[in-house]
């Protein structure tokens, strides 16, 4: 394995190469991008083989769990996509995956989102404190008018139109909150990389730039 | 205005974010009730209990989420809670390994296999979640290094998720907190505390409001608040000044952009598109 200062310096150089895209597209950025894609692809193959294929399929199969021949065969069928003549065989495996994930998603959404969230929004409109009462009113009104906005079976006129317009306001506030959180996430990533460049990188070389 | 070179904005943001990292301002950090909820729930776990630590992120979201992992592991190991770590993101196991070494081994002298274990990565997303709800050893027959899990004392008496006191999920997206709530909390009724990226936080707040999550740490701010609660300032606390100034700069840019827009609209100088 390469020494830590060299590895950290490589990481720092690649970080600066990626940042250089902010000035304009250039060969250093392209190089960093291609290195990342190549390493990520190789890493995924290696970890899938070591952490999934061997312990969950191959070793139990050799130990006598012959029922695992079925998922093994379905997995092999996925490679038929590389041929034009037999690529239809991969649809069996894909069909099984789509069916399994759809079933899980429907049950999960019904139990975890639909029922639980409807329950959670049955709030007392007169709570213990004034602030809780206000919050509960906001949640219930916001929920109802947002739902009205997505009700398209009747033209948005009169009271329905007013409720739908109020619904847009609630939706806009939620989009604003989401945008604010997105800004926070992006700044955090910049903070992380800058901390690495001014703190971790010099430290690995035995230097101290900041505490 | 339309010909304004946006690279000036990048430069300003870069300088404003860099400045407090070199000269910290020490702006105050206020702890939210969502973060306190996670802290209180973890604090109540009896010593010797086991927690399933679902580490679902990769290096792309490390600056936001790794400080949460470090802070929560500090809290868990300081209370002598045993940790079973598992990952649904392929890039996660080495990050969990690094966090375990830094906190469990170096700081608290905990032993691998006795006090904590890194089960590594498993493909299958929601299928894996449902599967470990029934049996952890059959889903993860071996740990990240290939050792059979039956050999680890920490795994004795642990068959399914009903044998753990809580699930702590550090989530960067899919699969993550939403799927843990939908597939595990609703089925097996295990308490879940979540730490997530700031981008996902608005989507998960309803789960906290409904009680499906016992606590929620959103982004770098959530991590800094947790660091404050455990009393161990880390990289999140260091980054909060930069975060705050960065936000301030963006607010100023939004206001200036809108003022210029209104000015040009009034003068009729906006280019027709």
- pLDDT tens readout for residues B115-173: 999 999 999 999 999 999 999 999 999 999 999 999 999 999 999 999 999 999 999 99
The pLDDT of A116-141, averaged and rounded, is 92
List chain B domain ranges. 32-237
- Does residue A1 carry a pLDDT above 80? no
Q: What are phi and psi of A23, to 5 degrees?
A: -75, -60
The pLDDT of A155-183, averaged and rounded, is 94
Q: At what angle do helices B33-43 and B219-230 cross, to 10 degrees?
A: 50
- The predicted pLDDT at position A2 comes to 81
End-to-end CA distance of chain A: 28
Q: Is the pTM of this model over 0.90?
A: yes
B142·A60 Cβ contact <8 A = no
B22·A210 Cβ contact <8 A = yes
- The predicted pLDDT at position B265 comes to 87
Q: How confident is the model at residue A52 (pLDDT cuts 50, 70, 90)?
A: very high
- The share of chain A scoring above pLDDT 70, in percent, equals 99
Mean pLDDT of chain A: 93
A26 part of contact set with chain B, CB < 8 Å: no
Question: Does the structural domain B32-237 have CATH classification 3.40.30?
Answer: no
- The predicted pLDDT at position B267 comes to 85
A188 part of contact set with chain B, CB < 8 Å: yes
A135 part of contact set with chain B, CB < 8 Å: no
Among A40-44, A153-157, B226-230, the range scoring the smallest mean pLDDT is A153-157
List chain A domain ranges. 1-64, 124-211
- The predicted pLDDT at position B270 comes to 67
Nearest Cβ partner for B186 among A112, A195, A198: A112
Please report residues of A whose CB lies closer than 8 A to that of B212.
Answer: 112, 116
- pLDDT tens readout for residues A72-125: 999 999 999 999 999 999 999 999 999 999 999 999 999 999 999 999 999 999
B57 part of contact set with chain A, CB < 8 Å: no
Q: What is the DSSP string of A155-209?
A: ---HHHHHHHHHHHHHHHHHHHHHHHHHHHHHHHHHHHHHHIIIIIHHHHTT--S
- The predicted pLDDT at position B273 comes to 52
The pLDDT of A58-84, averaged and rounded, is 95
Structure tokens, B269: 């100088």
B212·A116 Cβ contact <8 A = yes
Among chain A residues, the shortest Cα distance to B183 is held by A108
From CA A86, how far away is CA A89, in angstroms rounded? 6
A52·B146 Cβ contact <8 A = no
In Å, the largest CA–CA distance within chain A is 72
Structure tokens, B8: 């000036």
B17·A194 Cβ contact <8 A = yes
Residues of chain B with pLDDT under 70: 1-2, 269-273
- The predicted pLDDT at position A210 comes to 67
- The predicted pLDDT at position B220 comes to 96
Alpha-carbon distance A22 to nearest alpha carbon in chain B (angstroms): 7
Q: How confident is the model at residue A208 (pLDDT cuts 50, 70, 90)?
A: confident
């Amino acid at each position: 394995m390469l020494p830590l200062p060299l590895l950290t310096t490589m990481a720092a150089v690649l970080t600066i190469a990626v940042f250089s895209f902010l000035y304009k597209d250039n060969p250093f950025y392209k190089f960093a991008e291609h290195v990342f894609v190549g390493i990520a692809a190789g890493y995924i193959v290696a970890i899938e083989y070591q952490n999934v294929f061997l312990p969950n399929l191959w070793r139990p199969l050799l130990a006598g769990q012959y029922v695992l021949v079925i998922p093994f065969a379905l997995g092999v069928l996925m490679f038929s996509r590389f041929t034009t003549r037999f690529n239809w065989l991969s649809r069996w495996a894909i069909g099984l995956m789509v069916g399994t994930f759809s079933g899980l998603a429907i049950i999960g959404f019904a139990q975890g989102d639909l029922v639980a969230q409807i329950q959670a929004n049955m709030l007392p409109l007169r709570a213990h404190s004034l602030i809780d009462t206000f919050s509960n009113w906001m949640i219930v009104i916001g929920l109802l008018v947002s739902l009205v906005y997505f009700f398209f079976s009747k033209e948005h006129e009169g009271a329905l139109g007013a409720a739908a317009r109020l619904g847009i306001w609630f939706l806009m506030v939620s989009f604003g909150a989401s945008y604010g959180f997105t800004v926070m996430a992006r700044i955090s990533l910049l903070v992380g990389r800058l901390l690495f460049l001014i703190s971790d990188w010099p430290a690995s070389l035995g230097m101290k730039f900041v505490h | 205005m339309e010909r304004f070179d946006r690279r000036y904005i990048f430069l300003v943001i870069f300088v404003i974010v860099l400045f407090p990292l070199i000269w910290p301002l020490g702006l105050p950090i206020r702890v939210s009730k969502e973060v306190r909820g996670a802290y209180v729930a973890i604090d109540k776990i009896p010593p010797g209990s086991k927690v399933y630590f679902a580490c679902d992120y990769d290096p792309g979201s490390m600056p936001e989420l790794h400080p949460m992992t470090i802070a929560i592991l500090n809290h868990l190991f300081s209370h002598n809670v045993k940790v079973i770590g598992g990952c649904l993101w392929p890039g996660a196991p080495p990050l969990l390994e690094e966090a375990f070494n830094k906190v469990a081994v170096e700081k608290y002298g905990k032993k691998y296999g006795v006090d904590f274990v890194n089960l590594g990565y498993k493909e299958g997303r929601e299928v894996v979640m449902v599967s470990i709800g029934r049996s952890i050893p059959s889903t993860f027959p071996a740990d990240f290094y290939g050792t059979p899990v039956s050999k680890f004392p920490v795994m004795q008496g642990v068959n399914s998720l009903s044998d753990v006191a809580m699930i702590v999920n550090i989530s960067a997206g899919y699969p993550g907190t939403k799927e843990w709530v939908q597939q595990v909390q609703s089925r097996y009724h295990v308490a879940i505390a979540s730490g997530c990226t700031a981008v996902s936080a608005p989507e998960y707040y309803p789960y906290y409001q409904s009680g499906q999550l016992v606590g929620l740490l959103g982004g770098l701010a959530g991590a800094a608040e947790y660091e404050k609660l455990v009393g161990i300032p880390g990289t999140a606390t260091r980054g909060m000044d930069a975060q705050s100034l960065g936000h301030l700069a963006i607010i100023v840019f939004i206001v200036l952009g809108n003022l210029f827009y209104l000015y040009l609209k009034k003068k009729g100088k906006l280019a027709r598109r």
